[in-house]
Amino acid sequence: MRLVEGQGRTRLAGALAAGQDAYKFRRALLEHRPDFLGVLDKIAEKSDWGKPLGQGRGRGIAIFECYDTIIGQVAEVTVSKKGEVRVDRVVASVDCGHVVNPGIVEAQIQSGVIYGLSAALYGEITIKDGRVEQSNFDSYQVVTLADTPKIEVYLALSGGKKWGGIGEPGTASTALAIANEVFAATGTRVRSLPLKNVKLVGPA
């Protein structure tokens, strides 16, 4: 799986290399879109963006649109000395236009994040001699309660004529936020998934 985060990835990498704040940079890029800004500002506020975390910890931010829904996530990660990644907290915000049942919207984002976390950390199908090597949960690891972060979901609805989807956005944006937070915590850019295959160096 290749990671591509919407438009402007090259500019983004350049801006971050130049030490620009990841949230403020996105804000500048999205100035013309109040709906995106509503989501972006919400996750920045609720995640205490800019407040320093301890050593080996970092925050990653990602925002994008799919199924007519804008979703933003800030993920907080700890990278252990051995280079293992643990996602501690995810703050998500969605603009799906309108909401019928807020509880279901929240549940879909919570579980979408968890499904996305499985994919980002472990999900991998490999082929050997023409056959898929994974056949069951003993050879295909998935997230359990022990890996599950605290997940907060906030609505930032723009209303209008839009009725966005809510099933997939949580899943699709998780890997982006996590990969960005791994960069924040370790300085290593993640260019392929799953993370279990990426060699990371934690704090000394």
| Interface residue list for other proteins (CB under 8 A) | 103-104, 107, 110-115, 118, 136-138, 142-146, 148, 150-151
Q: 151: which 2 tokens?
A: 């997940």
CA atoms within a 13 Å half-sphere pointing along the CA-CB vector of 1:
20
Min CB(154)–other proteins separation in Å = 15
Cα 89 to Cα 76: distance, rounded to the nearest angstrom: 5
Q: Where are the beta strands (DSSP E) in 143-185?
A: 150-155
Rg (CA), the chain: 17
Min CB(104)–other proteins separation in Å = 8
Reply yes or no on whether 133 is catalytic: no
Q: Which is nearer to other proteins, 37 or 155 (CB)?
A: 155
Q: 33: which 2 tokens?
A: 């879109």
Q: Which is nearer to other proteins, 112 or 186 (CB)?
A: 112
Nearest to 170 by CA among 119, 112, 124, 123: 112
State the CB neighbour count (10 A cutoff) for residue 37. 17
Min CB(113)–other proteins separation in Å = 7
Cα 36 to Cα 162: distance, rounded to the nearest angstrom: 14
Q: Which of 5, 45, 168, 181 is catalytic?
A: 168
Q: Which is nearer to other proteins, 136 or 197 (CB)?
A: 136
Min CB(177)–other proteins separation in Å = 16
What residues are labeled active site? 168
